[in-house]
Amino acid sequence: MSDKPCPFCSLPASRVVDENDHAFWIRDGFPVSPGHSLIIPRRHVASFFAITFEERESLFQLLDQAKLVADAEFEPDGYNVGINDGATAGQTVPPLHIHLIPRYQGDQADPRGGVRWVIPDKADYWIRPPPWALPDA
């Protein structure tokens, strides 16, 4: 992982909403929607694929908890759950963190595709006819 100071280790304790054996969660400092939360393992690890089974359990317990808290507080209509795993995938903060992004009816004119929009040219597959539907060249 990079040598940059870890932004999660320098958080004031008041930012931590709750924690368990291997993880904690916070509200995102730059929320993309009300209730946007981050679930973070205690151990410094860059990739979701490098964590232990116990860490996954801890992370998913807090993911569920953060969802219930957001439900109660904001009553969203849906959620995106996402991990940017690697710089190529958009990870800008090196330690692994899971985004829980509440979604609200009307927050996007057309929300179809959700996380597919990480590659905008390929996101809206439903507007392109499948190859088997194209006329023969």
Which uninterrupted H or E stretch holds 39?
strand 37-41
| Nearest-angstrom CA–CA distance, 104 and 74 | 9
- Which segments of the chain does DSSP mark as H helices, in order? 53-74, 120-123
- Candidates 6-14, 48-56, 61-69, 128-136: pick the segment binding Zn ion (CB under 5 A): 6-14
- Candidates 1-9, 31-39, 110-118, 124-132: pick the segment binding Zn ion (CB under 5 A): 1-9
Smallest separation (angstroms) from Zn ion to the CB of 37: 17
Rule CB under 5 A: which of 8-47 touch Zn ion?
Answer: 8-9
Which amino acid, one-letter code, is at 111? Answer: P
Smallest separation (angstroms) from Zn ion to the CB of 56: 18
Cβ atoms of 108 and 124 closer than 8 Å:
no
Check 22, 36, 44, 97 and give the catalytic one. 97
Smallest separation (angstroms) from Zn ion to the CB of 45: 10
| Nearest-angstrom CA–CA distance, 74 and 112 | 22
Nearer to Zn ion, 93 or 123 (CB): 93
Nearer to Zn ion, 76 or 95 (CB): 95
Taking CB under 5 A as the criterion, the residue among 3, 4, 5, 6 binding Zn ion is: 6
Catalytic: 36?
Answer: no
Strand order in the sheet with 16-19: 16-19, 23-27, 37-41, 98-103, 78-82
Per CB under 5 A, residues contacting Zn ion are 6, 8-9
Catalytic residues: 97
